[in-house]
Amino acid sequence: MVLDVVEAILGFPPVWQVLVVGFGFSLLVSVVAVWFERKTAARVQRRLGPYWASPRLGGLLHLVADMLRYAFQQVIIPRGVDMTPFLVAPIVGMVISILPVAVVPFTSNPQYWPLPPGAMEYSLLIALAITTLPPIFIVAAGWASNNKFAVIGGLREAFIITAYELIAILGFLAVAAAVGSFNLAVIAEAQNPVKWFMLLNPLAFLAVIIAVAMSTSAFPFEIPESESEVVAGPFTEYSGLLYALNMGGAYMRRFIYGILIALTFMGGWAPYNPGEGIFAGYIVPSLIVTVKALIIVLAISFLRAVYGRYRLDQALDIAWRLTLPLALLGLALGIIQAFIGLA
């Protein structure tokens, strides 16, 4: 009886996707991404990077050690903080940052879609709407910390939100306009096999990549947490597991954006045609999408090794004066493509 209920809950496709792909995969991806980030930065500086915990794995276990250490470290809650938002913000922020997976289809086979086909028509819009929520919790975390660095970091995050949100949504809408549908499965299917929007609409792709890097504080735009100016930004007062949740949340958001980009710009499961059955119809295409998302995450991580950090005003300048026109041009290009019938 109880098992039936548990099975019904876990077997419900959105729940299953959030737990396995959303949490499990993105935890794995964030570990690999942090390792890759540290390792490439080390290689660029002619260092070895993390190594001695597991020489044959190239030091990958160091990241496991970091996670374990954070998990068992003391959690300090300073006396001056606003307790409820301080504790709730990182947890809810991380949960919400992996929620968009609940509406993302990993296959063209309607049998394995997380939502019924009617609701699936708006999956891109729902996913985009949910991705705009987590930054609010970062701002809340900074404000609840009652620390000047945290408040300044939160304010910077708020500035960045207003800049990138519009750009990311315009970039994604360019593809939706070209295809004429908000259904992620239809969008991905329209690009099969090689008509990827990464190639058809590079302007929107570039705008979206920049916006994603900004939204997840990836390196050239690592402004809210810039360590030389505001100590650790909104997360200055967080220690132990809460900080791990905060930091993991950023990488998970990057991974979720990577999945959306993989579906809309890189063809999703593109060279492959999902067939019948759970293996050919769900597991293989979802693995393909995950690998594509991982590639995007690693590409963004690589920027850390080669770029310096922008100032806040420079980043906002880039966002409003360079990237927003780029996204608008991409949208225009998408509409033109829709008229021509290219896509």
Binding interface with other proteins (CB under 8 A): 38, 42, 45-57, 59, 61-62, 64-70, 72-76, 227-228, 231-232, 235-240, 243
Q: Which two tokens stand for residue 8?
A: 């019904």
Q: Please, which residue, 68 or 199, has the CB nearer to other proteins? A: 68
Q: Please, which residue, 56 or 83, has the CB nearer to other proteins? A: 56
Measured CA to CA, the distance from residue 179 to residue 12 in angstroms comes to: 29
Considering the complex, what minimum distance in angstroms separates the CB of residue 149 from other proteins? Answer: 8
DSSP letters for 145-164 = HT-HHHHHHHHHHHHHHHHH
Q: CB under 8 Å to 17, separation ≥6 — which residues? A: 101, 102, 104, 106, 114
**Of the candidates 154, 45, 24, which has an alpha carbon nearest to the alpha carbon of residue 89?**
154
Phi, psi of 274, rounded to the nearest 5 degrees: -60, 135
Considering the complex, what minimum distance in angstroms separates the CB of residue 312 from other proteins? Answer: 18
Q: Please, which residue, 38 or 292, has the CB nearer to other proteins? A: 38
Considering the complex, what minimum distance in angstroms separates the CB of residue 225 from other proteins? Answer: 9
Q: Please, which residue, 37 or 189, has the CB nearer to other proteins? A: 37
Considering the complex, what minimum distance in angstroms separates the CB of residue 164 from other proteins? Answer: 24
Q: Please, which residue, 19 or 42, has the CB nearer to other proteins? A: 42
Contact present, 300 and 212 (Cβ < 8 Å):
yes
Considering the complex, what minimum distance in angstroms separates the CB of residue 13 from other proteins? Answer: 30
Contact present, 300 and 218 (Cβ < 8 Å):
yes
Measured CA to CA, the distance from residue 189 to residue 182 in angstroms comes to: 12
